[in-house]
Structures are given as C-alpha cells and as structure tokens.
Amino acid sequence: MAALTVPERPRWKGFIAAGIVITCWTGFNIVSRLGGKSALTPYDITALRFGVSLCFILPVFLLTGTLQRLPWRRLIPLACSGGLFYALLAYSGFSFAPAAHAGILINGGIPLATVALAWLFYGEKPARRALGALAIAASGVLVLGLNSLTASHADTPQEWVGDLCFIAAALLYANFGLMVRAWHIRPLDTLCGLTVGSALLYFPVYLLFLPKGLVLAPLSQILLQGVYQGIVAALVASFSYAYATLSLGPGVASLMLAIVPGTSAILAVPFLGEQATLATIAGVLLVTVGALLGALVKKTPRKPIPPAH
C-alpha cells in the first residue's frame, strides 16, 4: 500500500492558532502563579484542570469515536507528556519560582527541546536560520538559569526547584508536540486524548493518596483556577497548539510560543508584584528575538506518513 500523504493546513491559520496559544499561556503563567501562592496544592490545581475539562470533553470523546483513530498505546503516552505530568511539574514549579521564570524556562525551553528531540529521534536537522534563532533563544534561557543558580533569593530560597520543574515540563511538552506531528493526530482527537487519558490516570491517585487544600482556599480562587486551567489552558490552548503544530511544523510553532516570556514578565509586575530584574529582562529580550526570527523560517516539506497496519 502506498504511503499516505497529509493534507496541508493554511499557514496563516497556523499563525492565528499560535497567537491564541500565546495569549492563553501568558494568562496561564499569571493565574498558575496565583494558585501556587494560595492554599491550593499543585495536586488540587491539576485536579481542577482535568476535572473541569473532562466535563466538556467526555461526551465528545464518546460520540466521535476518538479511540478508533487514537488507540490506547498512543493515547496514554500523549496524555502523559502533554497533559498529566506536564501539568504536575508546571504547577509544582509555580509553588517555588516566579511567573517570569516559567515564561522563559517553559515557553522558551520548549523550542530548544523540540529541535533537540526532533534531531535526535526523528532525524530532522534544523535549517541554519532556525539554528541561529535557537541559539539566541538559548542564550536567554541560559542567562536566567545562571542568575537563578548563583543569585541570593532570600524570599524564594527554593527557586531552583521550581526552575527544574519548569525545564522538565518543557521537555515533556516538546515531546508531546512531536508525537502529534509524527502520528498526525487531529486537534480534536489530541484534545480528547489529553483530557480523558490524564483524568483516568490521575483521579484515582489524587482522591486516595495526594494532599489536598481545597477546603482552605476561597471559592473565588477555586473558580478562577477551575475555569482558566480547565477551559482556557486545557481545552483552548491545547487544541490551538495542536493545530499550529500541524500547520507550521513543531519547530516554528514552538518558537512562536517563546514570545510568552516577554508578555508574562510584563504582566507579572502589576498582577503579581514581581520585580523585573536585569537578568529577567535580558532573558526575555533574547528569547523573544529568537522566537520572532524563528517564525520567519519556512516550514520544511513533510515526509509521507506510512500507512497504518
């Protein structure tokens, strides 16, 4: 049987989808940091994320036959990378480190991890211009990393723990984007797989074993986290990122998201009272310039996808 060709999606729609993700993830960094400073545990916020999103997605999952196109052997690793463990690491990081660090290390780290993993495991060597853009973005991540490890943070002594969580989350999300592209999973199936798979894996463990702070948090904070994490972050952002990945390619799509550090750092000043240090500003500028240059790189032609057996 001949290899299957994949229909191309309009590139301009991919940039619109990436713009939606930039907006959603900027708010994600601010809202998640507010949750990390509240009585809610990272496990509570993860439960709110997948509990709320499951209410919307479960009927779609059952009625559209997602499992016929996305079998369990692919659904579970997809959910673990882009859903469950990404969320747990990110929310844990917000308990220790500022939102600006998440913007740089998650949103700035995803492009670097995407290119590195694509090169190592898929043989997709990036173009010279893409490498140049990545080098600039990487220098921004390095500036923040060195500052976090060497500076004295009396008010946040465990900041480095949060930074490590953010880096691990970036690696997982980069792997998720590459799986979406390699398996050519439709955005709706991606959304269903992330939500249902993560909920099935997480809720038995959460309800039986993990610490909870829901009874200590005000209702306003619970509603904020539930609506934003469960609808905006879990549904809107995940669908848009999957669409952008299929339209622009994982490298360009992830580089576009590196604009988020700048927007996050700016909004963290009035909303969270965080200080914009020279290291943070330098890191934001470098990562943002790298992202903008990376967005100008043309997408490489796709290889035909072998038929399923």
Q: What percent of the chain has pLDDT over 90?
A: 43
Strand, helix or coil for residue 4? strand
Q: What local confidence, expressed as pLDDT, does residue 9 receive?
A: 65
Spans of all domains in the chain: 11-295
Distance separating alpha carbons of residues 131 and 119, to the nearest angstrom: 12
The structure tokens listed for 192 are: 């269903």
User: What pLDDT was estimated at residue 5?
Assistant: 45
Return the structure tokens found at 265: 């750092």
Per-residue pLDDT of the chain (309 residues; tens, 9 = 90+): 344 444 566 777 888 998 999 899 999 999 999 999 899 999 999 999 999 999 999 999 999 888 889 999 999 999 999 999 999 999 999 988 888 788 878 887 887 888 888 888 888 877 777 788 888 888 887 887 677 666 655 556 678 889 899 999 999 999 998 999 889 898 899 999 999 999 999 999 999 999 999 999 999 999 999 999 999 999 999 899 888 888 887 767 776 777 787 788 788 888 888 877 788 788 878 877 877 777 666 555 444 444 444
User: What pLDDT does 149 receive?
Assistant: 61
Q: What is the pLDDT of residue 7?
A: 53
Measured distance CA(221)–CA(219) in Å, rounded: 5
Which residue type sits at 244? A
Express each pLDDT in 232-285 by its tens digit: 999 999 899 888 888 887 767 776 777 787 788 788 888 888 877 788 788 878
pTM of the model: 0.82
What does the block give as tokens for 295?
Answer: 């967005």
d(CA 140, CA 163): 14
Characterize 242-251 residue by residue with b for buried, 16 or more Cβ atoms within 10 angstroms of its Cβ, and e for exposed.
bbbbbbbbbb
Place of tokens 């900027």: 26
pLDDT for position 83: 94
pLDDT at 75: 94
